[in-house]
Structure 1
Amino acid sequence: MVATSTKNTSAGTSSKIEASGGAATAKVVPELKRLNARSVVLSTLLGTQPPRMPAQRLVRVGELFGIREGTIRTALTRMVQSGDLHTDERSWYSLSEDLQARQRRQSSSVVGQSELWNGSWTVAVVTTEESSPRDRSALRNQLRLLRFAEQRPGVWVRPDNLGVEWRVLVNTHLGASCFLYSATPGGRDLDLVDNLWDLESWSRTARALRKEMATMLAGLRASEVELLRPGFVISAAVLRHLQRDPLLPVELLDRRWEGRSLRRDYQVFDELYRQLLATW
C-alpha cells in the first residue's frame, strides 16, 4: 500500500499538462484520418471485445481507408513478429498481453469511475537517479498513464480518488522507482489543479468532439454506410481524449466540465456505430 505521511504541497513551479494533448480538435481529427495499416488494425482490435478478429475482417476494415489487402496482411505479419499481436492456425489475430492492458485502460477511461475523495493527494517522488533516457521516458509515460501530473522535476502528484485497483497499479508500476506517500496540500486544492492541468483545453476539445458525434447520429440511425469511415475516426479520437481525462474529484471540477457529457454522448454514438458496423 502507499505509505502515508503528512506533507505540505504547494503549487510550486510546474509545467501545466494540457489534458487535450496540446492540439485543437480541428487538428486532432484530421490527423487520425491519416491512419496507416498498423493503426487501423490496432484501433480495430482495441475497440473489439474480446480483442480478436479474423484476418479477412481486418482487411475489410482497411478497405474503409483505401488500404489494400496486401498492405493489411503485411502489417499483420510484422505486428506478430514484433510481439504486438498473436495469431493461430485459423488466421485469427489477437492483442498481446501488453496491448490488452492498454485496452483495459481504454475501457476504464470510457467508464471514468472514481471514488469519494477524502482530500488527500498521492505523491510520487522519483528516486532512480542513474537511469538511461529510455528508462526515464518510460517512467514518465507510466506516471501519465496513471494520471499523475508533474508538479516539479521528479515530483508527480494527483488527488487520491481512483480507488483500490488504481493504488495497486501505482505500487506495482512505481514502487521500485518512486517514493510514494499521501499528502495534504498547504494551499488551495483548486490552485494546485489549475497549475497542473489545462482543464479548459480538455473541455474545449470535448465539446468539439460531441458536436462531431451529434452531426452523425441521424445518419447512423438511418444505416448510412458512408459514415463508417468518419465514425471510426471520431470514435478513435474520443477514446484517445478520454484517456487524457485526469479523472479529478468533482469537488475540483467546474460545473461545466465536459467529462460526463462526453461519455454519455459517446455511449449513444458507439452503440449506433457498432450496430451499423455489424451489418456491413
Structure 2
Amino acid sequence: MDGTTDSSALDLEAHLPRLTARGVILSLLVSNHPAQPTPAQVVRAAGAFDIKESAARAALSRMVSGGDLIRTADGFHLSSALLERRQRVLHEVRQETTDWDGEWEIVVVTGSGRDPGDRATLRARLTRLRLAELREGVWLRPANLVRPLGLVGQPVELLRGRPDGDAVELVAALWDLSAWEKESRRLLGLMDLAVSTVDRFTVATAIVRHLLTDPVLPPQLQPHPWTVANVHTAWAAYQEEFVSIPEVGGGAEG
C-alpha cells in the first residue's frame, strides 16, 4: 500500500455499528441547534447516511410523539429535556478533574432484594459516574473527579479510603485498559482515514460513545501508552465540522 486511502475505500459498516434513523436525526438536529429544519431537509440529510425516506419520516413521527422533538410552523426543534440531556452528555465527556492524593471513592450497594430494573438503573448511574465494580455491590475509582454523585436516596453507602494493594494493579482489575487503548487507536485511525462528511460524522459519533467510557485516570495510574488526550483532541477538532453538515438549517421547504 502507498499510504493513501480514497474515502470510498473506507467501509465504515465493517468497522462501526450502523447508525439508526433516530440516532442520525438527533445528532443532526443537536449539531445544528437552534436551527429548525423542515421535514424535507431532515429527510434529505438523513439520506446521506443511507437512511430511507420512509424510515426517516417514521423516526421523526415517533420522536415528535415521544416528546424528543417539537414541530412548529417553521420546522422541528429539540425539546428542552433533550437539550438538557445533550448538555449532560457533553459534560460527561469533559470530566473535570483535580490532583489525585491517593484516595479512592468507594460506593457500597446496601439494598437487597430490589427490583431488577432498579438494580440496572443504579448500575448504569454508577457507570456514568466512572465508577467500576470490583466485586458484587462494591464500586470504586480514584478520587480525582470533581462532580456531584447525585446518589441521595439510593441504597448505597459512600466512603473514601485507600484500599490495600497496589493502585496500578487495582486499576487494571477494574478496567480493561488495554482494550480501551486499542479502541482509542482504532477510532483515531478511522478518523484519519475518513474524508467524507458522512464518514467523519459516523466516526465522531463513535468517539463520543468511547469517551463516555473513559475511566479518567489520574496521570499516576495511566498505563503507557495511553492516547486518551489524542481522542479528546480529535473530538474537539471535529466540533466545527459537526455543526456544518449540509442540508440542515437553512431554507424553508416542506
Identical-residue share of aligned pairs (%): 33
Decide which moves more: 149-158 or 252-261. Answer: 252-261
| Structure 2 unmatched ranges of 5 or more | 1-10, 249-254
Q: Which residue number corresponds to residue 38 of structure 1?
A: 22
Residue 151 of structure 2 aligns to a residue whose secondary structure is helix
Pairing 1:1-280 to 2, within 5 Å after superposition = 30-32=15-17, 34-49=18-33, 54-95=38-79, 97=81, 99-163=82-146, 166=147, 168=148, 170=149, 172-173=150-151, 175-216=153-194, 219=195, 227-272=196-241, 274-275=243-244, 277=245
List per-residue Cα deviations over 1:34-82 (Å, max 9, x = no partner). Answer: 2231121233344455597554442232111232334322212212222
Decide which moves more: 68-77 or 140-149. Answer: 68-77
In structure 1, distance between residues paired with 2:118 and 2:25: 28
The residue type equivalent to 1:82 in the other structure is G
**Per-residue deviation at 1:94?**
0.3
| Structure 1 unmatched ranges of 5 or more | 1-25, 220-226
The residue type equivalent to 2:117 in the other structure is R
Q: Which residue number corresponds to residue 6 of structure 1?
A: none
Higher relative contact order (CA 8 A, sep 6+): 1
Aligned length: 238
In structure 2, distance between residues paired with 1:28 and 1:132: 37
**Per-residue deviation at 1:174?**
5.2
Q: 1:65 to 1:27 in 2, by over 3 A?
A: closer
The residue type equivalent to 2:139 in the other structure is W
Q: Where do 4+ consecutive residues of structure 1 move more than 6 Å? A: 26-29
**Per-residue deviation at 1:178?**
1.1
Decide which moves more: 117-126 or 266-275. Answer: 266-275
Report if aligned partners of 1:37, 1:62 keep a CA contact under 8 Å in 2.
yes
Output the TM-score relative to the length of structure 1. Answer: 0.75
Report if aligned partners of 1:28, 1:237 keep a CA contact under 8 Å in 2.
no
Output the TM-score relative to the length of structure 2. Answer: 0.82
The residue type equivalent to 1:196 in the other structure is L
